[in-house]
Chains A and B, each alone.
Chain A
Amino acid sequence: MVAHDDDRDVAETLKAGYDAPPPRPEFVEEVRGRLREELAAAQASRRRLLRLWRYVAAAAAIVVAVGLGAVGFRDTSCAPKEPGTLPGPEALSTPGRPVPLCLQLPPPLFLCTPRLIRLTAHMEPYEPEKPRQPLLVPPGTRNVALAKPVTHSDATGPVIGHLSQVNDGEKSDVDGRYVEFVPMGEQATWIQIDLEEPCVIYAIALWHSLWPTVFHDVIVQVSDDPAFRRGVHTLFNNDFDNSAGLGAGEDREYIEDYRGRLIEAGGVTARYVRLYSRGCVDGALDRYAEVEVHGQPASEAMHGAPGSVPLEVEAPRPAAADGAATTSVGLAVASLMDTSLAPQGTGALPPPVPLATPEDRRGPLVPLELRLPGAEFGGGTPKHIKPHVHLEKYTGKPRPPFLVPEGTTNLARGRPVTASDAYPIIGQLAHVTDGEKRSSDGHYVELGPGTQWIQIDLKQPSAIYAVLVWHYHAQFRVYHDVVVQVADDPDFIENVRTVYNNDFDNSSGLGIGKDLEYIEDYRGRLIDAGGATARYVRLYVNGNTDDDLNHYVEVEVHAKPEPKRVPLETDLPVPMCQ
Chain B
Amino acid sequence: MTDADLIRAVRAGEETALETLYERYLPSVWRYAFAQLAGHTSTAEDVVSETFLAAVRQIARLKPEGGSLGGWLIGIARHKIGDVRRRRARVKVGLPPESLPQEDASHDPSASLETAERRAQVAAVMDALPDDQRLALEWKYLDGLSVREIAHRMGRTDKAAETLLYRARQAFRETFERAGAKGTQTRLAR
Contact = CB atoms under 8 A, between A and B. Distances in A.
Interface of A: 1, 4, 7, 9-11, 13-24, 27-28, 30-32, 34-36, 38-40, 42-43, 46, 283-284, 372, 374-379, 440-442, 474-475
Given A18-B142, A374-B23, A378-B5, A23 B48 contact: yes
Contacts of A1: 173, 176-177
A35 B22 contact: yes
Interface of B: 1-2, 4-5, 10, 12-16, 18-20, 22-23, 26-27, 30-31, 34-35, 39, 44-45, 48-49, 52-53, 56-57, 60, 99-101, 118-119, 121-123, 126, 137-138, 141-142, 144-146, 148-149, 152, 155, 165, 169, 172-173, 176-177
- Which of B141, B144, B145 has the most chain A CB atoms inside 10 A of its CB? B141
Nearest to A372: B16
Contact of A35 (B35, B52, B121, B152): B52
A15 B10 CA distance: 32
Contacts of A7: 141, 165, 169
17 contacts: A10-B169, A14-B138, A15-B142, A18-B31, A18-B123, A19-B142, A22-B27, A27-B45, A31-B48, A34-B53, A36-B18, A39-B18, A39-B56, A374-B20, A375-B20, A378-B5, A474-B148
A539 to B, nearest CB: 25
Contacts of B19: 32, 374
A442 B118 CA distance: 31
Contact of A10 (B23, B52, B141): B141
Nearest to A439: B149
B2 A378 contact: yes
A377 B152 CA distance: 6
A519 to B, nearest CB: 15
Contacts of B144: 441-442
Contacts of B34: 20-21
A226 to B, nearest CB: 32
Contacts of B146: 440-441
A475 B119 contact: no
A2 to B, nearest CB: 10
Given A14-B138, A374-B23, 17 more contacts: A10-B137, A14-B126, A15-B141, A18-B142, A20-B31, A23-B26, A23-B44, A23-B48, A31-B22, A32-B22, A34-B53, A38-B53, A39-B15, A39-B18, A375-B5, A379-B5, A441-B144
Contacts of B12: 283-284
Contacts of A475: 148, 152
A284 B9 CA distance: 11
Contacts of B177: 1
A248 B12 CA distance: 26
A39 B1 contact: no
Nearest to B30: A23
Contacts of A20: 30-31, 34-35, 39
Contacts of B142: 14-15, 18-19
A518 B48 CA distance: 41
B22 A16 contact: no
B55 to A, nearest CB: 9
Nearest to A24: B45
A21 B152 contact: no
A375 B1 contact: yes
Contact of A377 (B1, B26, B31, B101): B1
Given A18-B126, A19-B31, A378 B23 contact: no
A10 B22 contact: no
Contacts of A24: 45
B153 to A, nearest CB: 9
B132 to A, nearest CB: 16
Nearest to B180: A1
A135 B40 CA distance: 74
B173 A4 contact: yes
A284 B149 CA distance: 29
B141 A376 contact: no
A7 B170 CA distance: 10
Given A19-B31, A376-B152, A474-B152, A39 B13 contact: yes
A1 B121 CA distance: 13
B56 A43 contact: no
A435 to B, nearest CB: 16
A378 B35 CA distance: 31
A21 B20 CA distance: 21
Nearest to B121: A17
B148 A13 contact: no
B49 A11 contact: no
Contacts of A39: 10, 13, 15, 18, 56
Nearest to B4: A378
The 8 tightest CB contacts between A and B, nearest first, are: A17-B122, A20-B34, A378-B2, A375-B1, A374-B20, A43-B13, A11-B141, A38-B56
Contacts of B149: 376, 440, 474
A21 B39 CA distance: 9
Nearest to B33: A20
Contacts of A374: 1, 16, 19-20, 23
Nearest to B12: A283
B119 A13 contact: no
Given A39-B10, A474-B148, A14 B137 contact: yes
A48 to B, nearest CB: 14
B171 to A, nearest CB: 10
Contacts of A30: 49
B122 A13 contact: yes
B134 to A, nearest CB: 10
Contact of A14 (B26, B48, B141): B141
